[in-house]
Structure formats: C-alpha cells, structure tokens
Amino acid sequence: MASDVMSDDGYGYDAPPPRPTTPPVRRGFVMILALLSLAVLAVYGVPFVAERAGRAWEAGRAQAAAAALAKVDEQGAVSQASRLFRLATTAVSPAVVNVRSFRGSPGVGRHGLPLGAPAQHEGVRSELGSGVVIDAANGYIVTNNHVIQDAEQIIVRLGPRDDVPAKLIGADPKTDLAVLQVKAELKTTAQWGDSDKLDIGDWVLAIGSPLGFDHSVTAGIVSATERNDLRIAEYESFIQTDAAINPGNSGGPLIDLSGKIVGINTAIITQSGGYEGIGLAIPTSLARRIVEALIKDGKVTRGFLGISLHPLDGETARALKLPAGAEGVVVNGVLPDGPAARADIRPGDVITALDGRKVHDPTGLRYVAADLGAGVEVPIAFYRDGAEKSARVALAESPTNPEVAPLGFRVKESDAPGPDGKPRTIVEVDRVVAAGPAFNAGLRPGMWIIAVGEARVGNVLQFLDAIRGHDLERRLPLFVITPDGRGAGLTILGPKAFQEQQGGQPPEAVAPTPPAP
C-alpha cells in the first residue's frame, strides 16, 4: 500500500517558505541609480547649497562692514579722510595754470612726454601743458621745458577768459624744467614740499589741464621713487605714480595730502598715447634747486667729474676681483687734466660713493655729481685692484653741450638706436653759427659726429678729449653721419687757415678719412 506520509524536505513542516533573492542584474542597476543620484547631488546640490551659504556669508560681511563704517563715520573718520583730499586740492588748485605755447613751424615731440594735442592753424603749432605758481609776488611759474621748447609765444591762462602772455626766464632741457614769468595779479603761491619724505604707498594728487580740462584733479599713490635710466631726460630721478596723468598735465604739480608740491608731472609710459597707470614726476628735491638756479642765474651749473662710465655686472666684478655683493660703476675713461684725473682716478677703478652717497649705476653717479654743483671738494670712494680706496675730488662745471667757439658750432649728447636696436649715446651737432667756419664746411644741426680725425667718439667727454689734439685755429677733421644716413668726411678750416687762404697761402690740404672700425 502506498504510504501517505509526507517527507521532510529540510525546512520542516512549520518553517516559512524561502525568500526569493534579487537577481545580480537588478542589484547592479540599483547601485548605478544610487551613484547617479549622488553625482547629481554633487553637481547641482552642493554648489546650490554653497552658493546660498556664500551669499549669506557675503551679506553678513557686507552688513558688518556697513555697520563698522557707520560707526567710524559717526566718529568723523570718513569725512576727515575725504576732507584731507579736499583741503589739499583747495590749497594748491588756484596756483595751477594752463600753459599754451605757439611756434611757427612744427616741432618734434619727445617720446613718452604727454603734450596736449597740437592744433595746426595756418602753419602755427600749439602745444598744451600746465604750470604751477611758485612765487605770486614776482609772477614766477614752473612748467616743463618740452611744453614751451622753441616757442615764439607763450600764453598762460589764469582763469576763464583770463589769458596773459608769459616770458621765459630760463629753461633746463637736461631735467625738462622751465620757469616763466607773467605780469599779472596771481591768486596764490603753491608751497614746496619735501619729496625725500615720500614713500611707496603714500597718497598723492595730480592737478593740471589734461586735454584742456583746467584744474582737473586725479588721485593715486606713489608706486616707486628714484626711477632713472628711462632716457626721457638727461638727469632723471622720477617719482612714479598711478595718479592719472594725460596729455596736458605736463608741468602741473604732484602734491601730497598736506597740500605741498612734491613733484612736477612730466611724462607717462604708454603704448596707446594715453594714461596706462604709469606717470612720472620730477621730485622737488631736484626741481626746487633747478628752479632757484634758473631764477637767479638763468642757467644751471652742474658738477662734473670728467669720466666715462660703464655699469658693473657680475662678470666684470669677478674680473676686477671685487668682494661679493660689491656695487658701483666702472670707470672707462678719464679726461686728461679733468677733476677725476687730478684726483688720480684711473680707468678700471670702480666708484662706489661720492660725498658719502652710494652709487649703483652711471646715471646715479652723474646725478649725484651734478647735484653737488661745481667748485666743491668732496670724498670719493672706489675699488682698485680689489682693494678699497678713497680720495678727494674737486668738481668742475659740467661742459655738457660745449661750444667749439673758434669754429662756430655746439654739440650735445643724444640717444640713437645701435646696431642691436638698443639705444646708444652719440655726439650730435646741436647748433651751427650761420656763415661761420663749421657752416661753410657743410656742418649742420642734427648730424652725428662719429670721429675726430681717426679717433672715434661716442660721447661728449671723448669728443672734448679728441679735439685737444687739434689746433682749432687751423683745422678740425671730422667724420659725420647726415640725418639721411650717409657718412661723410669734412674738414673745418679755422680762422688762421682762412686768413692764409685769403692771403694767398693756402693751408695744406687734409682729406679726412673714415675712422678705423
């Protein structure tokens, strides 16, 4: 008989049925969905929460700042800060004038100097600048030389419909400063300040007539001091500022918050022709001395060492066996019987200080010597053969732009592009007396003098040294380059040679040759 008893399958009669398991495919799908949800939350949710939190933080920070400012304002600090700017401007602005110069023929502007837009009317060229009254009682006004250079007429605008003619008292192209005088009742005198007390970060204000907008004021800070080697002026030690300076600001004052002049706005560094954040002003430590000399003597007398210089680099320092970290300038040449020669300064010496003032580059040494003036005897420190030495040197008057009087011409140092495209110093003919010996020989302003006889010359010092070996009463052989780039040799006959020719005794002919390469 078949049995009806059910067999136990391992679960027991009373055990629950087995739970179905999730298939592997479905489990993977769930995991992927979870990961995607997390990714969406990370991409959209977290930034949303962060943005909301950031906004709340910024809002709280802004509210806190506003509350702090309100508290400071209640104490009068904010209004006092603005009041400083207003008071400084009010103290100086009435002494700032508009300066316009006129010349009959177009002139050539200097690179980087902010002139006003020239207006051409029937061949008359006009240049716009600014100026500042430094002596109301005597009518003296300071401006830039490049604003009034070669001007046939100078007009100063003291106020609306108040234009008066001005007379040039003196100009100094080497620092780009000039002093004018007007016969009119002036409102006020701006006071000189001390630029030596300026430091980077100090507030300054520029006042002038940018693009003809009289008494415009811009604010900024001192970005740097003692900027030189910019080749804007021969003697440089500029204050750099980010106060906006534009065409027409030239000659106007740069003032501090005490309402005193600390600089004369002079130039901008720009690639567009307008303001780009770099303005340059002549510091009062230099400008005041130049202005006082122009008013007193009509010219500026500078100290002169009689040496040619070269920057000191690491390779030269090692070759001269200088101590590590030594700074100074290398003497390239010494003018015979000049101040440095009499002090036994020799080529190869490295000058480190003059009158206790350290020098780091040729421009700095020239500036110090010029600032000391002529006729003073000062200590000079230098290295020779790796050893420190000192001497005393009596500075002479600088013969820069010397005039070769017997032959009727004057020279000056200028910058010209060298073969490598970098600026180099050259000797340029500055002035030629009409119908004089140099003029009759074909010498003209703008020519470059490359050599005297067979001696190459690259600066005024070398030129002065070279002409010492020639009898200027008889002849001076030169090799020059004309403005169109042609090289030519010419001989200037002096007065004695001319008289011999007139008397039937022609001088021995001299055919100048190009200098040896």
Amino acid 206: pLDDT: 96
What CATH architecture does domain 403-502 belong to?
Roll (2.30)
Q: Is there a contact between 345 and 330 (Cβ–Cβ < 8 Å)?
A: no
Give mean pLDDT in consecutive 10-residue pieces for the chain, a chain of 517 residues. Answer: 51 61 62 74 67 71 79 73 89 94 58 44 75 95 92 90 92 91 91 93 94 92 86 82 92 94 92 84 93 90 85 87 89 85 92 92 85 90 92 85 81 76 79 86 92 88 85 90 89 80 48 42
**Does residue 171 contact residue 99 with C-beta atoms inside 8 Å?**
no
Matching CATH number, 303-397, of 2.30.42.10, 3.40.50.300, 2.30.110.10, 2.60.40.10: 2.30.42.10
Domain range list for the chain = 94-182, 195-297, 303-397, 403-502
- What CATH class has 195-297? mainly beta
What value does the CA radius of gyration of the chain take, rounded to a whole number of Å? 37
Decide if 303-397 and 403-502 have a common fold: yes
Helix 46-74 crosses helix 77-92 at what angle (to 10 degrees)?
70
**φ, ψ for residue 493, nearest 5 deg:** -85, 130
Could you give the 3-state DSSP secondary structure of residue 82? helix
Tell me how far apart the alpha carbons of residues 281 and 222 are, in angstroms, rounded to a whole number.
Answer: 10
Residue 329: exposed, middle, or buried by beta-carbon count in 10 A (0-12, 13-18, 19+)? buried
- Write the single-letter amino acid at 11: Y
Q: Which residues are part of the catalytic machinery? A: 146, 176, 250
The pair phi, psi for residue 491, each rounded to 5°, is -120, 125
What pTM did the predictor assign?
0.67
Residue 96 bridge partners (DSSP): 132
94-182 adopts what CATH topology?
A: Thrombin, subunit H (2.40.10)
Residues 6+ away with beta carbon under 8 Å from 120: 106
Between the CA atoms of 325, 326, 331 and 337, what dihedral angle is there, to the nearest 10 degrees?
170
Contacts with 167 (C-beta within 8 Å, 6 or more apart), sequence order: 154, 180, 181, 182
Helix (H/G/I), strand (E/B), else coil: 396 = strand
Q: Do the strands 423-432 and 350-354 form a parallel or antiparallel pair, or are they unpaired?
A: unpaired
